[in-house]
């Protein structure tokens, strides 16, 4: 089952490779990626799929959220929709 992540991150050197590396190291495949630049920020939509059933998108979301320079993270399939990114506060579990 795939999950779509909606991300807003700083447009800093290495920020993309940092993010993509984290997702793959944590056991997710990236099936689709859409990137748009917006000034000093980047909007990114990623469709990801866990390599096995034990991989939780919600945990992945929190691991992404602790990346420095990550402004907003949301994913479908959790209680937070894309317009409610981390509504409970940075770094808090859904």
- Residues of this chain that interact with another protein (CB under 8 A) are 13-14, 17-18, 21-22, 25, 56, 58-59, 62-63, 65-69, 88-93
The CB density around residue 94, as the number of other CB atoms within 10 Å, is: 16
State in angstroms the smallest separation of the CB of 41 from another protein: 16
Q: Which is nearer to another protein, 29 or 88 (CB)?
A: 88
By 3-state DSSP, what share of the chain in percent is helix, strand and coil, each rounded to 5?
25, 40, 35
From the CA atom positions of the chain, what is the Rg in Å? 12
CA distance 39 to 37: 6
Q: Which is nearer to another protein, 50 or 69 (CB)?
A: 69
Q: Which is nearer to another protein, 21 or 77 (CB)?
A: 21
Q: Which two tokens stand for residue 13?
A: 């050197």
State in angstroms the smallest separation of the CB of 67 from another protein: 8
């Amino acid at each position: 089952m795939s999950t779509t992540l909606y991300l807003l991150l700083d447009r800093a050197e290495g920020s993309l490779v940092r993010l993509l590396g984290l997702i793959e190291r944590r056991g997710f495949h990236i099936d689709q990626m859409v990137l748009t630049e917006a000034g000093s920020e980047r909007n990114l939509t990623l469709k990801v799929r866990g390599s096995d059933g034990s991989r939780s998108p919600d945990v992945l979301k929190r691991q992404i959220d602790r990346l420095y320079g990550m402004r907003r993270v949301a994913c479908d399939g959790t209680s937070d929709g894309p317009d409610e990114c981390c509504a409970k506060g940075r770094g808090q579990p859904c």
